[in-house]
Amino acid sequence: MTHLAPEVRICNTVFGLSAMVCHYLIKGRVQGVGFRWYVHREAGTLGLRGWVRNTEDGHVEVLAAGEPDDLATLRELLEQGSRGSRVDKIIEHQLDDTEGKDLGPFQIEGAW
């Protein structure tokens, strides 16, 4: 497994915080390789709320809300990627907690 240094890392996963909302933009070979389905499965297993979707420019975007430990685990799983994917870069931002208030169970957007 290759660990990547993010271009921007603002999402601080400090212990003791009750809930966080993070946005991730994943660049590399991440479309057409089951990456969204992989993220959906792993985020659901972690009990996160949010969504994953393809972007028009060939990347994958994730919005996830949950406990800091679970978001840190998701970050590691995003770096690992699905079988057949190649993650070159992850850009990550922490959003205001209010951004997660309307998020439901983790889902794939635009999958159909």
Furthest C-alpha separation in the chain: 38
- The answer to whether residue 54 is catalytic is yes
Q: Three-state DSSP class for 57?
A: coil
Q: Three-state DSSP class for 14?
A: coil
How far apart are alpha carbons 5 and 96 in whole angstroms? 23
Active-site residue identified among 54, 75, 83, 86 = 54
- The answer to whether residue 53 is catalytic is no
Active-site residue identified among 9, 29, 36, 86 = 36
| Catalytic residue positions, numbered | 36, 54
